[in-house]
Amino acid sequence: MIEEQKVLPGQSIGKSKLGMSREELAAAEPDSPFYYQYEFAGDKAVFIELSESAQVEFRCLYEDMDLFGTPADELVPRLDAISPYVRDEDAELGFRYLFPQLGMLLWRSRVFREEDREAEWYREMPPENQEDERRFRFFETVAVFSPEWPGLTEEREA
């Protein structure tokens, strides 16, 4: 059975909720097969990030959207219609999309677009390397954050 992690932007991912203490977060996901990272203001979580790499197969869902299973070039316009993302250099290059009004961030370390399949550099790769490249059509992490997240303040000042 495929597990699901529900994302509520500005609130939670799975059982991990913004505003929880370190102890509460540890208790919420004991022996979790998922890889989370947290940032805190004082003792309260203000940023929760979930990586697509996990010890189990899962879907990461926001409403009806699979955040790790939908190509970025399809997902971003759908989210942008709900709440605009910050038009910065990272977004222009396709790496990171910050949705401040939603309280959500999507990230990938590299970018692969469908049209890259026709590029010479891609066609010259061995099939196993091509497969590795294609996974970068999708996001690798999703994060939710509260208005107190320092990274949001840094974005507003940039």
Q: Is residue 156 part of a domain?
A: no
Confidence of residue 39 (pLDDT cuts 50, 70, 90): very high
Distance CA(95)–CA(106), nearest Å, equals 8
Q: Is residue 68 part of a domain?
A: yes
Contact 152, 111 (CB under 8 A): no
The domain of 10 spans: 3-110+140-147
| Tally of domains in the chain | 1
Q: Determine what percent of the chain is predicted with pLDDT higher than 70.
A: 95
Q: Is residue 40 part of a domain?
A: yes
Residue 48 has pLDDT above 90, yes or no: yes
Residues in contact with 4: Cβ distance below 8 Å, sequence separation at least 6, in sequence order? 58, 59, 60, 61
Q: Is residue 125 part of a domain?
A: no
Confidence of residue 29 (pLDDT cuts 50, 70, 90): confident
pTM here?
A: 0.90
Q: Is residue 152 part of a domain?
A: no
**Secondary structure (3-state) at 116:** helix
Contact 7, 13 (CB under 8 A): yes
Tokens 């370390």 — which residue? 109
Q: Is residue 153 part of a domain?
A: no
Which ranges in 101-142 belong to alpha helices (H)? Answer: 120-123, 127-134
Contact 107, 149 (CB under 8 A): no
Q: Is residue 154 part of a domain?
A: no
Q: Is residue 35 part of a domain?
A: yes
Q: Which amino acid belongs to residue 129? A: N
Confidence of residue 81 (pLDDT cuts 50, 70, 90): very high
Contact 145, 99 (CB under 8 A): no
Residue 117 has pLDDT above 90, yes or no: no
